[in-house]
Amino acid sequence: MSSSLDGFRRPPNPVTQAAFRRQVRLEIYLPLGLALLAVAILVAVAVGLSYGTRSSWADVALVILAVPLALMLLLLTVALGAGVYAMVLLIREVPPVTSGLQASADRLAAAARRGSDAAVKPVMIPSGIAAALAEVGRSVRTIFRAE
């Protein structure tokens, strides 16, 4: 989908784009690359010196995998706890508000019913009287015809 503002977009400035790319390289890619290089060097030194056994490296790898998982689970538990707390607050606060709204809706419905009854009365009463008189007339005619 294209926006109606697409025609108003200016083309990107190559000078600012180059400055942005340079900044990304210096602030993101360089520290990330240096950290990976440092880890690779430490692993190479540890392997070269035969530091530890396979079992100890497996334990280290397990810890490296388990710690982030535990942190994410802790974060999820905190989020669920906050959600439960918010639900408890809402359950306490919502019923009085909704009961007030329901009472207002009931009053509005009663006022609308009274207004519609008042609007219909001038038409319905004469129609009802006319229908009753017509029925009386039919009843009287059937009485006199039967005899």
**In this structure, are residues 52 and 46 in contact, taking their beta carbons and an 8 Å threshold?**
yes
- What is the reported pLDDT for 86? 95
> Where in the chain are the domains?
9-51
Closest CA to 42 of 33, 51, 30: 51
- What is the reported pLDDT for 29? 94
- What is the reported pLDDT for 2? 57
- What is the reported pLDDT for 140? 81
- What is the reported pLDDT for 133? 87
Q: Per-10-residue mean pLDDT for the chain, 147 residues long? A: 65 88 92 93 80 78 92 97 95 85 91 89 84 86 71
- What is the reported pLDDT for 74? 97
Q: Could you give the angle at the alpha carbon of 115 between the alpha carbons of 109 and 121, nearest 5°? A: 135
Both structure tokens of 53? 């056994």
